[in-house]
Amino acid sequence: MELTDFKVLSFDCYGTLIDWESGIWEALQPTIAVAANKLGREAALEVFARHESAQESANPAMVYSELLSVVHAHMAQELGTPADSARDKAFGQSVPHWPAFADSAKSLAYLKQHYKLVILSNVDRASFKASNKKLGVEFDAIYTAEDIGSYKPDPRNFAYLIEHLKADLGFDAKDDLHTAQSLFHDHVPAEKAGLARAWIDRRQGQAGGGATVALAERPPVDFYFPSLAAFVDAHKLLI
């Protein structure tokens, strides 16, 4: 199996193309500052991961910006912070401010020359539109949790991806390489859906799952890269 065997790259966005951990941590600062229970970055991200996955499972049709507000309210309560609906709302609306990884835009511009590029993201359309400006590329298709009515790792999201790759772009599942950071949200369900997988290990060298639920065992992947730039470098060697 080679990178050149594929015609489509389906991407997770947040954690893979957008540095959501830095964005989340920055957006949490007003709450961390007044919290009774002070947490460092990694501990706070673990609390976020636990509450986010619980809310996505319990409220699959909730728009992501609203879901983030609920997540923040639960986190604030756990951290011993007085309830503050304005802070909850601000956190929910923070996605447009989350930064892109330094290599994302340049790498996507290169990959656009060789693949169809597709987004499969646990986000709402409005939030992704703002993030897309930072990525500087026109994706060939964008499929969000808002469109699908569920959040990854729900298998419905990957069924939707496969169905719409065929209906919208004319490609089969075998033509797609799912490219993502999150083992929990993406690689486990993508494997079950029969998709080939490239792991962009943005957290290389760091313990735990960060802003995603940590897994006891790493699922198998077909390709491993420490960055999207490393993916591009590997592709250049094949052409």
Q: Which residues are catalytic?
A: 12
Classify residue 12 by burial, with Cβ atoms within 10 Å: 0-12, 13-18, 19+. buried
CB 211 within 8 A of CB 177: no
C-alpha 45/C-alpha 157 separation (Å) is 24
Token pair in block for residue 10: 């389906």
C-alpha 27/C-alpha 192 separation (Å) is 34
CB 187 within 8 A of CB 163: no
Q: Given CA atoms 226, 231, 236, 239 in this order, what sign does their dihedral have?
A: positive
Give the angle 14-224-130 at the CA atoms, nearest 5°: 15
Using alpha carbons, select from 71, 64, 72, 22 the residue that is nearest to residue 42. 22
225 φ, ψ (degrees, to nearest 5): -140, 140
